């Protein structure tokens, strides 16, 4: 079972971001207390099962002080049983990663780092309003490997208007020059109401071109393949056997508990999500209330979720699993899949349907064709 903890603070707002975070970091102490309280209220959610993975995400978990992280850590160990060898990941931004901090993480028991690099190029970082410089990325990564982290993921963004295809290739080269074993890469997307959308509308920034993102995604798939890496989820690549266990559990429909504002949980039958507002979250927990909503998943939703997540991974969608939702779903899936297979966007082997590299470009469209509405 997995435990996710959402740390909803960031130093500054990246222009493209639509995650839940606040730059009002003065509430860190109160937030940590609220998360600790929530943990107490939700301790039975996973039915007493051992934790196989713990994931500190955000926001920016590396913004927490040692004292705050220790408070959450000790409560986890007081309330849950953490399996020996559990994967324990912390998301960090390069500008937070001093050698002292990294040594603290190592002592504490964090064994996997996910570093929000996004780009090694200053023009890209400036456009996205990232808080770090390329030099800080290199210093942080050098320090992480020197301290002895062996499980390191980098996040990169492609399709940035300030990077040509050859500059993106150089960016990938630079990432793979470090002894990382995992890479998450996302296309720069312009979400409504973000600063990026505003600046593009005003003509301050050039538009984000879909064709560029599409070309650079192809470059990435070819590059990772040539290096012998597995493309195991639409946006995730790893050395064989180094897939992220925590995230894979989401895609495989396993149970997890999410703590903190905006965090989601899944118990196998229902989804639950916390309010995405720091003040509302902290106020509710200070009076012992869980600020969450819950939805019980009917069969149709379970089928749709299975198709949507399965298609995004190398494990694909298994017709035998689909039959468990009902034979009518299996019939529908096979019928709709025919044209997608004929277009070369998907392949079928022994009842398992997987997207091809070409199909990954159209994953959302394909999923919507295979979903029952």
Contacts to ligand SF4 by CB under 6 A: 10, 13-14, 17, 19, 21, 58-60, 93, 116
Give the per-residue SS3 of 329-371.
HHHHHHHHHHHHHHCCCEEEECCEEEECHHHHCCHHHHHHHHC
Is 171 within 8 Å of 220 (Cβ atoms)? no
Instruction: Supply φ then ψ for residue 52, to 5 degrees.
Output: -95, -25
Q: Which is nearer to ligand SF4, 7 or 143 (CB)?
A: 7
Residue 69 CA to residue 72 CA, distance in Å, equals: 5
Structure tokens at 355: 């997207």
Q: Which is nearer to ligand SF4, 129 or 318 (CB)?
A: 129
CB of 60 to ligand SF4, least distance (A): 5
DSSP classification of residue 25? G
CB of 125 to ligand SF4, least distance (A): 11
CB of 18 to ligand SF4, least distance (A): 8
Tell how many helices (H) and how many strands (E) occur in the chain. 15, 15
Q: Which is nearer to ligand SF4, 10 or 35 (CB)?
A: 10
CB of 13 to ligand SF4, least distance (A): 5
CB of 174 to ligand SF4, least distance (A): 20
Three-class DSSP category at 186: strand
Q: Which is nearer to ligand SF4, 60 or 313 (CB)?
A: 60
Q: Which is nearer to ligand SF4, 185 or 340 (CB)?
A: 185
CB of 323 to ligand SF4, least distance (A): 40
CB neighbour class for 89 (10 Å; exposed up to 12, middle 13-18, buried from 19): buried
Q: Which is nearer to ligand SF4, 59 or 258 (CB)?
A: 59
């Amino acid at each position: 079972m997995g435990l996710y903890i959402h740390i909803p603070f960031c130093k500054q707002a990246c222009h493209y971001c639509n995650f839940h975070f606040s730059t009002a970091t003065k509430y860190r102490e109160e937030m940590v207390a609220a998360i600790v309280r929530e943990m107490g209220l939700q301790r039975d959610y996973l039915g007493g099962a051992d934790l196989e993975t713990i994931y500190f995400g955000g926001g920016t978990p590396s913004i927490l002080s040692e004292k705050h992280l220790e408070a959450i850590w000790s409560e986890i160990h007081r309330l849950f049983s953490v399996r020996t060898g559990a994967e324990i990941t912390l998301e960090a931004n390069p500008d937070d990663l001093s050698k002292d901090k990294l040594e603290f993480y190592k002592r504490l028991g964090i064994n996997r780092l996910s570093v929000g690099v996004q780009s090694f190029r200053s023009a890209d970082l400036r456009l996205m309003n990232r808080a770090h410089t390329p030099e800080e990325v290199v210093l942080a990564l050098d320090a992480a490997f020197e301290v002895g982290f062996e499980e390191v993921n980098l996040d990169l963004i492609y399709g940035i208007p300030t990077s040509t295809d050859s500059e993106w290739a150089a960016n990938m080269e630079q990432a793979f020059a470090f002894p990382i074993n995992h890479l998450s890469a996302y296309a720069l997307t312009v979400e409504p109401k973000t600063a990026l959308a505003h600046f593009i509308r005003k003509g301050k920034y050039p538009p984000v071109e879909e064709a560029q993102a599409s070309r650079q995604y192809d470059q990435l798939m070819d590059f990772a393949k040539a290096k012998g890496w597995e493309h195991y989820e639409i946006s995730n690549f790893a050395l064989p056997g180094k897939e992220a266990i925590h995230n894979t559990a989401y895609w495989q429909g396993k149970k997890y508990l999410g703590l903190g504002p905006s965090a989601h949980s899944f118990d196998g039958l229902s989804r639950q999500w916390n309010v995405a507002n720091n003040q509302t979250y902290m106020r509710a927990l200070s009076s012992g209330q869980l600020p969450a909503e819950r939805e019980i998943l009917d069969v149709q939703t379970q089928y749709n979720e299975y198709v949507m997540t399965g298609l995004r991974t190398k494990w694909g969608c298994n017709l035998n699993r689909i039959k468990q939702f009902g034979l009518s779903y299996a019939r529908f899936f096979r019928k709709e899949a025919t044209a997608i297979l004929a277009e070369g966007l998907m392949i079928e082997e022994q009842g398992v349907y997987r997207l091809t590299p070409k199909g990954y470009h159209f994953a959302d469209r394909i999923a919507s064709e295979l979903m029952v509405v």
